[in-house]
Amino acid sequence: MPENQSIRVSVDAVVFGYTSREGLSVLLIKRNIPPFRHAWALPGGLVHNEESLEEAVTRELQEETGVSIRYLEQLYTFGQPDRDPRNRVVSVAYFGLVRPDAFRLQAATDASEAAWFPMKSLPALAFDHATIVATALERLRGKLTYAPVGFELLDKTFPFSELEKLYQTVLDRPIDRRNFKKKILKLGLLEKTSEKQRHEGSGRPGDLYRFHAERYQALQHQGFTFEI
């Protein structure tokens, strides 16, 4: 018996932002069309017939927010039958982590506004986007155990305390600072520079470090686990 199938494919982008001052945030758009008109949602939309999934998510993100990200990682496929009240839509979600101050937001097409929201105070989200964000956050935290996620969010040289703060913010819990530093340095992911941290007041200025990209590439090839 022929199958009467009518399913559309869409993409959604979970873009996390991070700064030392503001912490972890999520890029959202205010929808300009029904359903959920005027509600906040993730950037995304239907995949065009001639597009790959990666092309579609890049286009939607650029159109709705003005943000262009070099790499987004595929997260998960969300396909509950009732996730979109209009028709059956299967969404392939992607996620990435960036510095918000690297972009100038500009909403267009289906979005009337684009804005960064702190992770701990997100508004009510359209569709099943709250579930998508929660899934992306869990993946991001998991990646911290095997990849130096977010190193590119730090300055070219940085005090070790900034790396600790990044990990604590994403994980949303304290870490054992002594063991954390010992493990990171043992992996050889950082190089100590001759520079010192600018320091106001009394006390000895701290060392500044930089990311050892070549060492990380070697560890990626070999595989490694980093327990925090």
Catalytic site residue from 22, 51, 113, 195: 113
Burial of residue 224 (CB within 10 Å: 0-12, 13-18, 19+) is middle
Structure tokens belonging to residue 45: 């939309």
> Which of left, alpha, beta for 87 (phi over 0: left; psi -120 to 50: alpha)?
beta
Active site residue 113: yes
Residue 6 phi, psi dihedral angles, 5° rounding: -140, 85
Two structure tokens written together for 146 = 């095997």
Q: 69 near 61, Cβ under 8 Å?
A: yes
CB within 8 A of 154, min separation 6: which ones? 162, 163, 166, 211
> How far apart (Å, rounded) are the C-alpha atoms in residues 60 and 35?
18
8 Å CB contact between 105 and 114: yes
Which pair of structure tokens corresponds to residue 44? 């995304």
Return the bridge partners of 211, or none.
Answer: 190
* Contacts of 84 by beta carbon, 8 Å cutoff, 6+ apart: 35, 127
Both structure tokens of 66:
């003005």
Residues with active-site annotation: 113
